[in-house]
Structures are given as C-alpha cells and as structure tokens.
Amino acid sequence: MAEKDDGAWYVISVAAVKAEVHEQTLRHYERLGLISPARKGNSPHSPRLYSDRDIERVVQIRRWMRDLGVNLAGVEVILHMKDRMEQMQQELEEEMQQMQDQHAAETRRLKDIIERLQRGSS
C-alpha cells in the first residue's frame, strides 16, 4: 500500500486542502476504490494517510470530470486502464533489464571462451 517513492504523507484535512476538495470527497473516492490511502495503524478506524500520489490522482480525477465531463464510472474505467498500463510498463522494464543482464552475462561468457581459444592456439 505505502510506497517509498510516494513522498510525504498527509492527514485527511491537509490532503483535502492540497487537492482542493472536501474531506467527504476523499472518503467517497476511497469507497469507490479510486484512491487507496494508507492507514496509520492496523485498525480500519485508524487515521487515513494520503500520499502525494493520492493527491495527484484526486486532482486528475477532478480535472477529467470538470474539463472532459467524465463521470465517476468513466473515471473508474480510465484509472483502471491507466493502472494496468503502468503495471505493464513496469513489467516490461523489468523484463528488459533481465534481458540486458542475460545479454551481458552471455557476452562475458563468449569473450572468456574466445580468450581461452586464443591462448590455446598461441
């Protein structure tokens, strides 16, 4: 839930001010699954903690609704697709890194073979 790169964390009153929405809007978006604030403790009644990423997401939701006329159902679809695309991008980057690592290891292995062959023929 909480990610290291999410920056600072804010209680609901501060997050609402930063996102320029009412606290109830944040609670509503959470109920709809549009945002997932962290909890300060393990209890479901523990205070919510909103990350910079959560706030950016709320601002984006409000922008889509205001500027594009997208309703909350449409926002949910867009966010689901956006989240899936980000997940796929991360998986692709990880796979590319693995392939680069394998390529580097195979290149080293082949260079070692060539060096041994060259030493053996000298």
Per-residue model confidence as pLDDT tens digits over 6-19? 578 999 999 999 99
Q: Does residue 3 register a pLDDT over 70?
A: no
Domain boundaries, the chain: 1-70, 72-122
Task: Provide mean pLDDT across the span 74-100.
Answer: 96
- Which pLDDT tens digit goes with each residue over 94-114? 999 999 999 999 999 999 999
For residue 23, the model assigns a pLDDT of 95
CATH of domain 1-70: 1.10.1660.10
E strands in the chain: 9-10, 38-39, 48-51
The DSSP H or E segment spanning 81 is helix 72-121
For residue 11, the model assigns a pLDDT of 94
- Which pLDDT tens digit goes with each residue over 32-42? 999 999 988 77
- Which pLDDT tens digit goes with each residue over 36-79? 999 887 777 788 899 999 999 999 999 999 999 999 999 999 99
- Rounding to the nearest 10 degrees, give the CA dihedral for residues 88, 69, 72, 45: 100
The pLDDT-based confidence of 81 (bands split at 50, 70, 90) is very high
In 10 A of CB 56, how many CB atoms?
Answer: 14
In 10 A of CB 14, how many CB atoms?
Answer: 14
pTM: 0.69
